[in-house]
Structure 1
Amino acid sequence: MTIKKMDWSAGEWLNKPQSAQKEGDFYKVMPEKGRDFWKKTLYGFEYEDGSALLANWDNNTAVEVSFLLSSFTELYDQAGILLYHGPGQWIKTGVEVNDGIPQLSAVVTDGYSDWSLAAVPEWFGEEVTLRASIIKDAVIIRARTQHHAWRTIRVARFPYPTGNQAGPYTTSPTREGFEVTFTRWDFTSPDQDLHTDPTGE
């Protein structure tokens, strides 16, 4: 298992947040109200102005991002990983509040966005880890907490062999003052199989 622990200063912002500051090993980020990632479907609007801290992503590695869920209290509070190929071709995946509870979320976008949710109310207050790994032309997205085992969120098409970036993202489309504490950002060994849990941290 090879792990490349990312220093927060190694990434570059795709749309800077309202504030971002290091506290020890952690990184506290407050997104600007009203920004998001979404393309057309259902709502008609197009947003690609959310905050994401990105680095080049080699498809032969997996990317993991961890954060604390304790500050997620209101509709659409969200954070996780952005997998970014370019404008209109990206996936955001993480946890967001919907219907009053935390939900595992994936928005897969290629010109148009689709959205899937899975409720995880038992995860509130924990440290969550999101993970994305490429096998062939697809990305496998998984999540866990320190008290709950890996679960697969989504298998989605991501057929871009080069030119990809990945890293932590957060948005707050509807309220001021949301702040997320990111605890870890790594590039590590890729998944070997869809039905085998990844190893490592």
Structure 2
Amino acid sequence: MKWFNEPGKWSGNENKLQVTVDPDTDYWRVTHYGFIRDNGPFYFREQEGDFEASVKISGDYRELFHQAGLMIRIDEKNWIKTGIEYVDGVQNVSAVVTREMSDWSVVPRHDSPAAVWLTLLRKGDFVEIKYSFDGKQYEMLRLAYFPPGVAAQIGVVAAAPGKQQFTVVFEEFAVTRIN
């Protein structure tokens, strides 16, 4: 695995990775806000074909838009990120799908769960995202188009668009090739 936008402070590997997310980092393209950001820490591997990625995430979300999750990426104009995003004091299960422009969907959580488990299935021309708060029972968050037949980067991502850093722990990141 390797870094895109390596953070100043991190330790571990794909089994357990602790990251202190630097402020003024994000991933977004144009829609609504009119800016482009492509500078959050992303720890990834290259993967071809169909696969499923999974991870458990625990974060110390404190400031607006603190976020952590999974990302699948071809380039700066074609990517999907999903995970927890902190908005107005509430953790939201979130997905941003970007094909030239970003869109954003959320499921608000008012119970501030200690951790979230995510799975991201890439198959053919789509990505299916599921989430869980117990690591056993999963619900679908999003089914989105994703360009087929091209290798992608898959890994863990985080961002802190504001002025405060935060700490996040990723556990048991795994990618399983499927037929």
Normalised TM-score (structure 2): 0.91
Q: Is the aligned partner of 1:171 residue 2:159?
A: yes
Q: Which amino acid aligns with 1:33?
A: P
**Partners of 1:55 and 1:142 in 2: how far apart?**
20
| Structure 2 counterpart of 1:108 | 97
Cα distance in 2 for residues equivalent to 1:105 and 1:111: 19
State the Cα distance separating 1:57 from its structure 2 match. Answer: 2.0
Give the conservation status (yes or no) of the 8 Å contact 1:66–1:183: yes
Residue 79 of structure 1 aligns to a residue whose secondary structure is: strand
Amino acid at match of 2:73: Y
What does residue range 45-194 of structure 1 map to in structure 2 within 5 Å? 45-69=35-59, 71-125=60-114, 127-146=115-134, 149-188=137-176, 190=178
User: Is the contact between residue 113 and residue 133 of structure 2 (CA under 8 Å) also seen in structure 1?
Assistant: no
Match of 1:34 in 2: 24
Q: Deviations over 1:96-149 (max 9, x none)?
A: 111211101111001100000101223522x21111112331110111122772
Structure 1 position 18, deviation (Å): 2.3
CA distance in 2 between counterparts of 1:20 and 1:13 reads 11
Partners of 2:122 and 2:71 in 1: CA distance:
14
In structure 2, the gaps of 5 or more residues are none
Query: Which residue is 1:43 aligned to?
Result: 33
Distance 1:27 1:181 in 2: 6
Aligned equivalent of 1:5 = none
Percent identical across equivalent pairs?
28
Tell me how far apart the structure 1 counterparts of residues 159 and 52 of structure 2 sit (CA, whole Å): 23
Q: Give the structure with the larger strand fraction.
A: 2
CA-CA distance at 1:85 after TM superposition: 0.6
Gaps of 5+ in 1: 1-10, 193-201
- Which 4+ runs in 1 deviate beyond 4 A? none
Q: Would the alpha carbon gap of residues 189 and 129 (structure 1) be closer, same or farther in structure 2, given more than 3 Å must change? A: farther
1:102, 1:180 → 2: CA distance?
Answer: 14
C-alpha distance in 2 between matches for 1:59 and 1:178? 34
TM-score between both structures, scaled by the size of structure 1: 0.82
Distance 1:144 1:188 in 2: 18
CA contact (8 A) 1:104 1:120 kept: yes
CA separation of 1:26 and 1:135: change in aligned 2, threshold 3 A: closer
C-alpha change, 1:152 and 1:44, in structure 2 (3 Å) is: same
Write the letter of the residue equivalent to 2:61: F
**RMSD of aligned Cα (Å):** 1.9
